[in-house]
Amino acid sequence: MELNGEGLDARHGQTVEHTVQRLRDAIFAGRLVPGQRLIAGDLTAEIGISRGTVREAFRRLEADGLLEIIPNRGAVVRRLSREQVRELFQIRENLESLAARLAAEHIGIDANRDYFISVWNTVRPSGEMLKTHLFMEHNRLFHRSIVKISGNTMLSDLIETLHLPVVMFQVGQVMQPENMESSHQDHVRVAQAILDGDPAGAEREMRLHLKRSGEWVLRLPSFAFKGDR
Amino acid sequence: MELNGEGLDARHGQTVEHTVQRLRDAIFAGRLVPGQRLIAGDLTAEIGISRGTVREAFRRLEADGLLEIIPNRGAVVRRLSREQVRELFQIRENLESLAARLAAEHIGIDANRDYFISVWNTVRPSGEMLKTHLFMEHNRLFHRSIVKISGNTMLSDLIETLHLPVVMFQVGQVMQPENMESSHQDHVRVAQAILDGDPAGAEREMRLHLKRSGEWVLRLPSFAFKGDR
DNA sequence: CAGCCAGGATTGTAGGATAATCTTGTTGGA
DNA sequence: TCCAACAAGATTATCCTACAATCCTGGCTG
């Protein structure tokens, strides 16, 4: 056979998965930017897989909302319109505040508590100002940890695959220090409520946090969104 | 070329979509039951499409949650465990009550109102007892119409692809007349609140309806679920 | 300069070939 | 009889080639 990039020969039955992961990473890392077109033919040469496999990977990523497949025109990295972002935050507001409530209910379990505290120690606001990139990473870690300990694995999957990463990257490009600061303060309140085992409080604070975030994102200049000029 | 089942030659670029729809219908119609294995080779012969296309369709359906793809073992129609059903209803409770609230907010728009009323006239409880199959169909129509007029297309897509149809079919198999009756009464209250333009009421009634439905489903005998005996 | 058309680029689909893996049935020994 | 090892068949996963359909671009014509 032949070795692909990482030096490990993806075993039989893992090639598509491998390719999906590779493309996903490339998108999150910004090597593939929203709106960019993906040429199937190029990838076959570049990664060393066949076109059929590439097509399957595209379908997977389309379902995850990371790509958009346009008939006879192939795949492009998804870009959200202002309206879609508004809708997205409205959904997040509900799903993640539910997750926060469940997390507060389950924080009594030692494993959950330990896990949450360890994550919180990593991402808690420190005195120093953070680079945008690192903030985004911490933000993702924090939100994900809450969803994890909610104990609802379907909810977890749902939020995970909710194209959140795409839009977050999209807006991360134009994030300002004061937004990070404000977001941090919201996080403190959410974390506190969860650690206190206060479901209603956790739900409320998470909802407020996302409402504020959403409003801020929608105030961004137009260039950040698809469609409007 | 060659004609496929419906007698219309699916145009270039539509074959996968067509196949997805066909399999989806087969699942909802019960011709493919949860747990059943799908053999790629059979489908190529049966529908007259190539294996690559079948595989793409499988991936799509997996992402929609209707199929489960197990490496080297192919695709099986998804079957949910009791725990997964519980999680699912918890999520629905939040998403659909949001949809109901938004629907009540937007019922002032004539097009929405006309559409909702026409759906309601179709599915409204009548004196006669309904067949299970027809009830399930009406139930789906009703819930879908609310999501539609919520105006949040992402929410609409999300709920649509939330494997709801699978579980509903799964539980539909063992539905009793008294459950349909009770569900109908819930629907009346939800519809009334929406038509009154009462967002808070619509949200509350929808949440109650789904809470009741979820509790009822979870009281079903074990055979209805995957895993537990 | 607008409309049209040819050719290249790219996608969509079909179908064959091969290796990996799973399934099942058989056989030989304890 | 029971069980483990092996063999044969079935099925999947992947790669490959081929060709039709469609999109795109750039030049030609009027």
For chain B, which residues lie within 8 Å of any Cβ of chain A, measuring from their own Cβ? 12-14, 16, 52, 55-56, 59-60, 62-64, 71-72, 84, 87-88, 90-91, 94-95, 98, 152-155, 158, 162
Quickly give A226 CA vs C11 C1' distance in Å: 24
Cα–Cα dist A184/A139, whole Å? 9
Contact assignment for A155 to B87 by CB distance below 8 Å: yes
**Residues B68/B75, Cβ–Cβ less than 8 Å:** yes
Residue B159: alpha-carbon gap to chain centroid: 8
Tokens encoding A102? 């469940």
Rounded to a whole number of angstroms, the distance from the CA of A213 to the nearest CA of chain B is 18
**Residues A4/A53, Cβ–Cβ less than 8 Å:** no
pLDDT band at residue A4 under the 50/70/90 scheme: very low
3-state secondary structure of B109: coil
For residue A155, the chain B residues in CB contact (below 8 A) are: 87, 90-91
Strand nucleotide closest to residue A44 (CA to C1'): D15
Tens of pLDDT, residues B101-136: 999 999 999 999 999 999 999 998 777 767 888 888
pLDDT value at residue A161: 75
φ, ψ of residue B175 in degrees (nearest 5): -80, 145
pLDDT value at residue B165: 64
Which of B87, B91, B154 is closest, CB to CB, to A84?
A: B154
Q: What are the pLDDT tens digits along chain B (229 aa)?
A: 333 333 334 467 788 888 999 998 888 777 888 888 999 988 998 888 998 899 989 988 888 888 999 888 889 998 888 898 899 999 999 999 999 999 999 999 999 999 999 999 999 877 776 788 888 889 989 999 999 999 999 999 888 877 666 677 677 767 788 888 899 999 999 999 999 999 999 999 999 999 999 998 888 876 667 765 4
For residue B62, the chain A residues in CB contact (below 8 A) are: 63
Is the full-model pTM beyond 0.85? no
**Residues B67/B38, Cβ–Cβ less than 8 Å:** yes
Which of A59, A88, A158 is closest, CB to CB, to B91?
A: A158
B30 touches strand C (CB under 7 A): no
**What type of residue is A222?**
S
pLDDT value at residue A2: 34
The more confidently predicted of residues A13 and B210 is: B210
Quickly give A220 CA vs D25 C1' distance in Å: 36
Rounded to a whole number of angstroms, the distance from the CA of B129 to the nearest CA of chain A is 35
Alpha helices in B64-160 (DSSP H): 82-106, 110-123, 132-149, 153-160
**Residues B54/B12, Cβ–Cβ less than 8 Å:** no
Cα–Cα dist A192/A100, whole Å? 11
Quickly give B44 CA vs D7 C1' distance in Å: 29
Virtual torsion, Cα A89, A95, A96, A99, nearest 10 deg = 180
Interface probe for A, chosen from B20, B55, B73, B94 (most Cβ of A below 10 Å), is B94
Judged against a pLDDT cut of 80, whether residue A229 lies above it is answered with no
Q: Which of A73-77, A132-136, A168-172 has the highest mean pLDDT?
A: A73-77
Task: Report which secondary-structure segment, H or E, holds B70.
Answer: strand B67-70
pLDDT value at residue A64: 80
Q: How far is CA B52 from CA A42, A173, B46, B69, in A?
A: 19, 38, 15, 15
A187: CB partners within 8 A, 6+ apart: A123, A125, A139, A142, A209
Kind of pairing between the strands at A67-70 and A74-77: antiparallel
Contact assignment for A87 to B154 by CB distance below 8 Å: yes
Determine the residue of chain B that is closest to A153 in CA distance.
Answer: B87
**Closest residue by Cα to residue A66 from A27, A39, A29:** A27
pLDDT value at residue B32: 86
Mean predicted confidence (pLDDT) in A183-207:
97
pLDDT value at residue B166: 67
Cα–Cα dist B156/B111, whole Å? 17
pLDDT value at residue A136: 84
DSSP letter for B78, please.
-
Task: Report which secondary-structure segment, H or E, holds A38.
Answer: strand A37-38
User: Between A and B, how many CB-CB pairs are < 8 A?
Assistant: 70
The b/e string for B41-54 (b: 16+ C-beta within 10 A; e otherwise) is eebeeebebeebbb
A108: CB partners within 8 A, 6+ apart: A197
Determine the residue of chain A that is closest to B81 in CA distance.
Answer: A154
Strand nucleotide closest to residue B38 (CA to C1'): D11
Tens of pLDDT, residues A42-98: 999 888 899 988 998 998 888 888 899 998 889 999 888 889 889 999 999 999 999
